[in-house]
Each structure stands twice: as C-alpha cells, then as structure tokens.
Amino acid sequence: MSPCARSAGVGAVRDHVRMSRMSRTNEDHTHVQEFFGARAAAWDGKFPEDGPAFATAVAEFGVGPGQRVLDAGCGTGRALVPLRAAVGPSGTVLGVDLTAEMLAEARRAGRDREGTLLRADVARLPLRDGALDAVFAAGLIAHLPDPAENLRELARVVRPGGRLALFHPIGRAALAARHGRELTPDDLRPEHNLGPLLSGSGWRMTSYADEDARFLVLAVRTD
C-alpha cells in the first residue's frame, strides 16, 4: 500500500470514529433534554429536602469574594443563591445547562438575579481558557457522554490551581435506593474510579465524601 493510500485510510478511520462519537453525543444530549425537560416544572418540589445541602456543599467548596464560578449543569439553579453569597457582588456566577425548561424554571424562581444563565453544552463551553476560578457541578458526572473529555473541557476554562466540586445532595447508595436501582461496578463515582478519571483530565482530587446525606468530591486544577 502506498503512503498516500495508507494516510487516506487512517484519515477515513479517524473521520468514522469522530462521526460515531458525535452521533452518540447527540443521542445522549437528546435523551438528557427530553428527560429533564419533562420533569423541570416539578423538579424543586419533588425533593425539597435536598435544597439545604447545596448551601452546605458550597460552603465546603471554599469559593470566596470576587471569584468567578460556573455552575455546570445548573438545572433549576439551586446552587446559584449560595454561590452568589460566597463570591459577593464583585464576583461572577454563571449557570449553564443544556435543557431550556430547566433554565426557565430557574428564571421563574428568580434565581437569574444571582447569576447569568446560559443554555450551552458543558462539553463545548463558550468561555476562554482559564476564564474561571472554580466549577461547581451538581449531579453532572452521571450524565456526561464522554466523562474524560468533558472533565477536560471543564479544566480548560479554569485557571491552574482553580477548583472543581462534584456534588449530589445524597450519596450513591441513597440515590440508587431512591430510584430502585443497584450500584454497579461501572459506576464512575466510587473513589477508585473517579480519582484516576480526574487525574487524567487535568484535575487532582483533594477530598472524597460519599455518605447517605451527600456526595461531594473536591479537586484542584493541575498545571
């Protein structure tokens, strides 16, 4: 086989892989939007006891006055109020979500007063490199179509030394029980799975908590 033919063959394989990945991502996005769009109006009222856990998690996250923070996959914006309180009037709070209905509920609840809401994909954020000091992500990790690449995109928009919080108001076992499911070996969220995933995506895990009352993982952006 000539070098040109070999090169063309490699290019065709790369194009096929890229198109297959894009197709899977589009399917995942459609599923996510349909799932959360249908549930947006009742979301906050379904599990009201989860609300205070957001404030506690933000306090542990440790963002401070004047910082720039993204709520990635913000949903109805339950983290926006404590994030704004943490960064103060001189800080910046952005809320990004893929589902228009979720953002509409955030606006209906008045949470758009706490930060700028933007419909966007966390896999392709419209932000420059190093634009942020921190990313808070509640319930996001389980819905990422390509976790390694998507976590790398979050790392791209955070300055070196900046922070990441992966949060859920209840732990893995409690969440599985809530939905009538069992924990599975391929779950990304156990410490032995998540630590290497983060380290390969531009992050260093600094703390891990998986309890009935919360799931909270903190990480720092590496150089």
Of 158, 156, 142, 117, nearest to 194 (Cα)? 142
The pLDDT assigned to 152 comes to 98
Phi first, then psi: give them for residue 129, nearest 5 degrees.
-60, 135
Q: What is the pLDDT of residue 223?
A: 81
What are the residue ranges in the chain where pLDDT is below 70? 1-43
Phi, then psi, of 113 in degrees rounded to 5: -70, -20
Report, at the CATH architecture level, how domain 41-221 is classified. Answer: 3-Layer(aba) Sandwich (3.40)
Q: Report the pLDDT value the prediction gives residue 38, as an integer from 0 to 100.
A: 47
pLDDT of 16:
43
Say what the pTM is: 0.82
